[in-house]
Chains A and B, each alone.
Chain A
């Protein structure tokens, strides 16, 4: 399982290129009633001190005289990390099933409403990656939901390639796996053929498949360890296939699991144990319930997936969707997981630190610790409560969202009259 190891290192190396500009040495201090650091115990009446966009100290620390101070009569927690999303993409997938040469980078619309909505709900890091209706779907990117261009938003240019075991239209489950194996084999064959020709000194372009061909290049990146994979395994049976597919070829992989995954809990746990005490290998589909049907007794049981996996010792990132229902909110997904038996701390971790671990960026994101990016939410209360609002979002030490100035939120809540309002005296 060496594949699991290099993941964080590769992502961290990629992330160094981005990150907050250290040129600005502004010092910002947030004093709050309760600080949920996620990595450690909560701090009551403490301070988060940021310098140049990074966290310098958390706890009961003295505030430097020239610091800008925000007094917040509420709670503070790390910005949410959305581990798997298609927010801001026009479509989730290309129609072609094997497209390792496309990237979310080229499709993310920075002005999309979905991107703005993320910030309002407290998401400060967003993993945008092609959807699951594919075989090899293209590259994901890690962004912050703020900026006029994708470049401004960008944290990691390529997080890895989407690989899916959900059969695309017209394919069977076995066919899907076979197609993936064939794609891997073809890329390696093409490389071998080119190597052979080069060795024979008879490299004639166009004569045989060129390994530098972008259609193969992405697959080779996957097979040679330059890119990781996010493997969608919707059913428990796909989990086994996904593991063997990746291990055969030494592919560094993270997995996107469907609600059926609880049946593979032991398998998931074993791989996680082999990957290390802090490894988070799995992201859960937003649908956190599965129906288990007993045909003989004509009975159905609702399986609460987050609760079951947690009890089996499986760590995971929770994800949300982009629909109109409350499952679009990360806090709601975490709250639902609590109702299924996840402790509150684990639920909050699943949308912050564990999501960052899943993405291999936990050295920089996901908790309030010295040295990490100054990404935090100033909340009116408990982040998992339906009545809590995000008052402010601080992203890399800068206040980028204020609820009091959020005109769209006002419109959403109160509505926008597109016709004359009720005449005076219409009331009771």
Chain B
């Protein structure tokens, strides 16, 4: 059929397939490309604009070496090893990061046999070749903070992973112990067994109320403190480390009441959590700014029937309101990370400044995930993770041209370009 020849194709094949596509379809990448150098490992990329994670370089040249960023500047330094990709008109950013994702967790997001499962690690159930992960990669998302779902008071340990498979086909972690994830609000108490009646299972979960959630949390923190170094179990060990401040805490807090609860108990528990979702943050941006709590802001979706995401009071410019109040924000697609670009574009539409939105999916997302020393910016020494767009990355009309992870081209969609 005629269409087959012309289709826009995103190949999700193994690395060899991606390379084959690059060789077959891409125009000769650069004059410097001789027969020797590996075209899937460019030595430098020249673009019209380059976002380092904190500022714009125009034009921008990213120099890569050994899977790391060698430099990011305006001019091409002499002696870059490997082919130079010249992409006039293109915009280059660090690989994007969804700072609170559950994309690619196979077989359920929350371990619901108990309400507190501190040693559970979703990275153990993460399939880097899952459809959602590949779709995320195709939009320029190269890292995820992978966390358990919100059905448990203490859900487990979140990890930062790349959106490509590791050498053995398994996950490629950036930081395995990125945070202990806790949840406030009615999600951990919804659907649990009531006080009366016969439980249908031996797994009788507490709690059933908002105050019960807090009780479980206090309990866990007390156990963690008591356990200390001699923790008798993996659960207690994870709690002990979080209670001692050795691993950061992530807290799901959607509505204003949850946020106030966090503000109240953070001193009591001695935690300074990164807040997630924060749908009703716009109701108390000043208090959040004053407390200096970082927020991974969930998606602003159009409220149907007057209500917002999970029954919260909606404000489409939630991210902008928090930003203006001085709260530092990252953005999450709140589920499938492939939606991150749309969420960033909508946040800008609704009032978030463009550069704040770009920082929120790169440098700020990395900082809040505890991996700013590895990803989220194009600084010498950091992982060479980058996305190249054919225009403004915050416009839905813009196409992803290249995605690069650890210095290697893992997605090349320039072939579809000639039809424009």
A residues adjacent to B (C-beta < 8 A): 113, 262-263, 265-266, 291, 297, 299-304, 307-312, 322-326, 328, 332, 334-336, 338-341, 343-344, 347, 384-387, 412-419, 421-422, 426-428
Contacts and interface: CB of A to CB of B under 8 A. Distances in A.
B317 interface: yes
Contacts of A422: 283-287
A266 B131 contact: no
A412 B303 contact: yes
A266 B315 CA distance: 46
Given A341-B416, A414-B315, A419-B283, A325 B8 contact: no
- 10 closest A-B pairs by beta carbon, nearest first, are A415-B315, A427-B286, A265-B3, A426-B286, A335-B397, A338-B397, A311-B6, A304-B8, A335-B396, A324-B301
B403 to A, nearest CB: 13
A386 B349 contact: yes
A352 to B, nearest CB: 16
B342 interface: yes
Contacts of A326: 342, 345-346, 396
Interface in B264-283: 282-283
A342 to B, nearest CB: 9
9 contacts: A302-B12, A304-B416, A311-B7, A335-B397, A341-B8, A386-B349, A414-B282, A414-B321, A416-B313
Q: Which of A309, A310, A336, A427 has the most CB of B within 10 A?
A: A427
B41 interface: no
B11 interface: yes
B397 A308 contact: no
Interface residues of B, number: 56
Contacts of B396: 326, 332, 335-336, 339, 386
Interface string B394-415: 1111110000000000000000
B23 interface: no
B386 interface: no
B195 interface: no
Contacts of A300: 12, 131, 134
B283 A415 contact: yes
Contacts of B349: 386-387
B283 to A, nearest CB: 7
Q: Which of A307, A309, A335, A339 has the most CB of B within 10 A?
A: A339
A266 B419 contact: no
A347 B321 CA distance: 33
Interface of B: 1-3, 6-13, 17, 131, 134-135, 138, 256, 282-287, 289-290, 301-305, 313-318, 321, 325-326, 339, 342, 345-346, 348-351, 394-399, 416, 419-420
B302 A308 contact: no
A303 B316 contact: no
Contacts of B321: 414-415
A53 B201 CA distance: 69
Contact of B256 (A297, A325, A419): A419
A364 to B, nearest CB: 29
B287 to A, nearest CB: 5
Contacts of B138: 302
Contact of A427 (B8, B13, B289, B301): B289
B315 A304 contact: no
Given A265-B2, A326-B346, A328-B302, A386 B394 contact: yes
Contacts of A339: 396-399
Contacts of A312: 2-3, 6
A119 B6 CA distance: 37
B72 to A, nearest CB: 26
A302 B10 contact: yes
A349 B306 CA distance: 32
Contacts of B286: 422, 426-428
Contacts of B416: 304, 307, 341
Contacts of A387: 348-349, 395
B353 to A, nearest CB: 11
Given A300-B131, A341-B8, A415-B283, A325 B301 contact: yes
B339 to A, nearest CB: 8
A91 to B, nearest CB: 15
Contacts of A418: 313
A343 B420 CA distance: 6
A328 B302 CA distance: 9
A381 to B, nearest CB: 11
Nearest to B279: A415
Given A311-B7, A324-B302, A339-B398, 14 more contacts: A262-B3, A299-B12, A299-B13, A300-B134, A302-B9, A302-B12, A307-B8, A326-B346, A339-B399, A340-B8, A386-B349, A415-B313, A415-B315, A426-B286
A33 B315 CA distance: 32
Nearest to A388: B349
A416 B7 CA distance: 46
Given A336-B396, A386-B396, A422-B286, A263 B1 contact: yes
A343 B7 CA distance: 15
B131 A265 contact: no
Contacts of B2: 265-266, 312
A73 B304 CA distance: 32
B420 A324 contact: no
Nearest to B345: A386
Contacts of A386: 345-346, 348-349, 394-396
A308 B6 contact: yes
B3 A428 contact: no
B420 A385 contact: no
Nearest to A416: B313
B418 to A, nearest CB: 9
Contacts of A335: 395-397
Contacts of B10: 301-302
A303 B9 contact: yes
Given A324-B301, A335-B397, A386-B349, A427 B325 contact: yes
A262 B304 contact: no
Contacts of B326: 427-428
B397 A311 contact: no
A262 B2 CA distance: 10
Nearest to A347: B397
A354 B223 CA distance: 66
